[in-house]
Copies of this chain bind each other. A is one copy, B any other.
Amino acid sequence: MAFFKNKEILQELGFGTKNYSTKVRFLNTDGSVNVKRRGLGLLRNLDIFHWLISTSALTLNFVILIWYVLINSVFAGIYYWIGPEHFGGLDVPAGDTIKEFSALFFFSAQTITTLGYGHVYPIGELASTAASVESLLGLLSFAVATGILYGRFSRPKAHILYSNNLLISPYREGKAIMFRLVNKKQSELIETEVKVSVTFINATSNKREFYNLKLEIEKINFLPFSWTVVHPLNEESPIAMYNLSDYESMDFEFLVLFKAINDTVSQNVYSRYSYKHERILENARFLPLEQSVDKKGRVMIAVNEVSRFETLN
């Protein structure tokens, strides 16, 4: 990775230049990077906040529930060790361990949530101290939960729908590589920017190479409609000499980085995508998205038609 060639369009992407024996994909179609870092041990790789705000809602709910049951069990154990006689209003037969533990478990739940009905209450210093600590812990835990939930909701995301295919279409006197994207959500994106790179295995050097592709237009102010991203296959293009069959044999991958500002939260949002040869078509071009003006004078756009194309002969 210490080798860089002195050609302006060549780009070190942080990917290695190694030619793997099997074909690989660098970006998955959901935009995640197809790389696993290892060698630092589990703990040093772990980023709990990152995981909690990016995991699924179902997993997060499960984690919270498990934590709730565990913490209450621990405190129920502590209260039981202190002794059920130090709690007023328990109202269970003395000596019935299961019933006592269960009642203390619910007392714990009422304490950690600061609910505090008070039909059960601590008696004496030890029980009171334990309950005081638990309610403090509860408040801090819910402070953390507030942060995580806010982090999840406010996390800015770009919901971009990319065309299924990347097309090699007629363009002026020659050809161009084109794909199309739309914003799926009603929130507006402004100052949108696209960067496209390509990677393939150079047949001569047998090393993987990376190039930035020059686009007709790299930045637009608004994105209310679709955007067809165009890289002309002219003399400036580093891939003008290759055709679709080369794309397969040289393990081509087109890497897309999308950047914009979400107008609702005024924050940068990003999206990534990639096209491998099986999604690339020759002699085809995109068909316009259906657009109409409704009764209120609004322009209607059918975003689900982003992939629509026609084959040329």
Which of A's residues lie within 8 Å of B, judged by CB? Answer: 1-2, 4, 6, 11-16, 18, 20-22, 24-26, 32-40, 44-45, 47, 49-50, 53-54, 64-65, 68, 72, 88-89, 91, 102-103, 106, 109-111, 113-119, 121-123, 125, 128-129, 131-132, 135-136, 138-140, 142-151, 153-156, 159, 161, 169, 172, 178, 180, 182-188, 190, 192, 195, 197, 216-217, 220-228, 230, 255, 257, 261, 263-270, 272, 285-286, 288-289, 291, 293-294, 297-305
Contacts and interface: CB of A to CB of B under 8 A. Distances in A.
A171 to B, nearest CB: 8
Given A113-B114, A115-B111, A224-B14, A146 B148 contact: no
A72 B150 CA distance: 24
Number of copies of this chain in the oligomer?
A: 4
4 closest cross-chain pairs (CB), A and B: A147-B150, A39-B304, A117-B118, A118-B118
A256 to B, nearest CB: 10
Interface of A is mostly: mixed
23 contacts: A4-B230, A12-B217, A13-B221, A15-B225, A24-B299, A33-B188, A34-B299, A37-B303, A39-B305, A47-B187, A49-B153, A64-B140, A72-B132, A106-B122, A114-B116, A117-B117, A117-B122, A146-B150, A147-B150, A190-B270, A190-B272, A222-B257, A261-B268
